[in-house]
Amino acid sequence: MRYLMFVKTDESMPAGPPPPALYQAIGELGEQQAKDGSMILTGGLHGSAEGALVNLADGRIDVIDGPFAESKELIGGFAMFDVRDKDEALEHARRFLQVHADHWPGCVATVEVRRVMEDNEFVMPS
């Protein structure tokens, strides 16, 4: 089964910018996870300054350009895993955060783990 994971950090985190060693360690972990067949897709995301929010409210659609200074949930990257069960997905998430703990003291981060719908689960509402 497949799980999509987003890593979120808090912009106001006191730890400062991520050290280069973190990127290297994440790269090495990712290489390992791709090699054992579990990580099938991964990507990083630019800061919110290069993005926007497109909102719908009261029948009106508004575009708000980034950056979003108040955001507590900056999504830094995503990865898709192909694993046997949820426990394996959680262990991969744990390893990813362990690398952060090892290389970025004071880091506060969350990995959101979501199961991807399989083709046959995706039923259009009739």
Q: Which residues bind another protein (CB under 8 A)?
A: 28, 32, 34-38, 40-41, 80, 82, 84-85, 87-88, 90-91, 94, 98, 101-102, 118-120
Cis, bond preceding 14 (omega within 30 deg of 0): no
Q: Answer whether 71's CB lies under 8 Å from 8's CB.
A: no
Parallel/antiparallel/unpaired status of strands 52-57 and 60-65: antiparallel
Element (H, E) at 32: helix 20-35
Beta carbon of residue 35, minimum distance to another protein (angstroms, whole number):
4
Query: Which C-beta is closer to another protein: that of 1 or that of 51?
Result: 1
Write down the least CB distance from residue 95 to another protein, Å. 9
DSSP state of 14: T
CB closer to another protein out of 3 and 74: 3
Question: Closest CB to another protein among 7 and 99?
Answer: 99
